[in-house]
């Protein structure tokens, strides 16, 4: 339930960064000095040359990240039905820090003071289109899977009737136990593609998401197998066929 806090922080913080990056890209304004100081401290010289479409790519990824946080916040508030499970304080603090750091990571992929001067239509590349399409596809499936999980605890009228666990069916649940975690990974991969595929820093973020979501998925998978004797044996934990 407290994951909701992560998305509130992400919507506010990454929305703030998105506004400033938008103003820098389209209005020619400089980012606030404290953002430039943070940008420099994290390793990117603000006076370095802009390589190709870095500004637009970062702006687009920051927008996707913000939209993802908005959707997840809405799902936490109005779709998901949470049990009485708790979160460790260390994991809670780390989660808050993560959503602050990940937005700063996107911002630090481009110089803060340089605009490449191209028109927006010229800056749209093939990897932007592929990345956004993959992002939409994965996001739709993640929402469907979360809705399936929520509906297991609701009556046909939408009233919550149970907080117990049940075996989900439908959509990607036919292949894996935790398709919403798999979709999360695909969403971050789509952002890596949108950044131009070659961005090593963001691929490190993808690797973190991979291991984090895989661990959670394996624990969930083992829970299902332990508590439901008739659990489908063909289902994998996280990635289809793996």
Each domain of the chain, given as residue ranges in start order, spans 1-123, 124-241
CB 106 within 8 A of CB 158: no
* The pLDDT value given to residue 217: 97
Which DSSP category does 84 fall into? S
- Nearest-angstrom CA–CA distance, 152 and 169: 10
pLDDT in tens, 59-113: 999 999 999 999 999 999 999 999 888 999 999 999 999 999 999 899 888 765 5
* Mean local confidence (pLDDT), 142-168: 94
* The pLDDT value given to residue 204: 96
pTM of the model: 0.92
- If you average pLDDT over every residue of the chain, what do you get? 89
Q: Name the pLDDT band for 161 (thresholds 50, 70, 90).
A: very high
CB atoms within 10 A of CB 140: 12
Which DSSP category does 197 fall into? S
Is the pLDDT assigned to residue 125 strictly greater than 50?
yes
* The pLDDT value given to residue 160: 92
Query: Can you read off the two tokens belonging to residue 57?
Result: 């790519």
Share of the chain above pLDDT 70, in %: 90
Which DSSP category does 152 fall into? T
Three-state DSSP string of the chain: CCHHHHHHHHHHHHHHHHHHHHHHHHCCCCCCHHHHHHHHHCCCCCCCCCCCCHHHHHHHHHHHHHHHHHHHHHHHHHCCCCCCCCCCHHHHHHHHHHHHHHHHHHHCCCCCCCCCCCCHHHHCCHHHHHHHHHHHHHHHHHHHHHHHHHHCCECCCCCECCCCCCCCCCHHHHCECCHHHHHHHHHHHHHHHHCCCCCHHHHHHHHHHHHHHHHHHHHHHHHHHHHCCCCCCCCECCCCCC
* Mean local confidence (pLDDT), 8-34: 87
pLDDT in tens, 26-46: 777 777 777 777 777 766 554
* Mean local confidence (pLDDT), 183-196: 97
Is the pLDDT assigned to residue 219 strictly greater than 80?
yes
């Amino acid at each position: 339930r407290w994951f909701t806090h992560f998305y509130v922080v992400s919507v506010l913080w990454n929305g703030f960064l998105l506004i400033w990056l938008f103003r820098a890209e389209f209005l020619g304004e400089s980012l606030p000095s404290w953002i430039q100081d943070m940008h420099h401290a994290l390793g990117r010289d603000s006076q370095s040359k802009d390589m190709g479409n870095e500004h637009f790519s970062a702006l687009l990824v920051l927008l996707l990240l913000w939209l993802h946080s908005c959707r997840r916040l809405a799902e936490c508030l109005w779709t998901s039905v949470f049990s009485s499970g708790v979160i460790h304080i260390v994991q809670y603090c780390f989660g808050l820090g993560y959503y602050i750091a990940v937005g700063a990571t996107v911002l630090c992929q481009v110089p803060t003071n340089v605009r490449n001067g191209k028109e927006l239509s010229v800056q749209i590349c093939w990897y932007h289109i592929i990345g956004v399409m993959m992002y939409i596809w994965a996001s739709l499936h993640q929402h469907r899977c979360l809705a399936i999980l929520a509906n297991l605890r609701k009556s046909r009228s939408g009233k919550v009737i149970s907080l117990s666990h049940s075996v989900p069916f439908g959509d990607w649940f036919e292949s894996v136990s935790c398709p919403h975690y798999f979709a999360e990974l695909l969403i971050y991969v789509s952002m890596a593609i949108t950044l131009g595929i070659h961005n090593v820093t963001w691929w490190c973020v993808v690797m973190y998401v991979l291991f984090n979501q895989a661990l959670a998925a394996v624990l969930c998978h083992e829970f299902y197998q332990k508590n439901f004797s008739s659990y489908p044996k063909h289902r994998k934990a996280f990635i289809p066929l793996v």
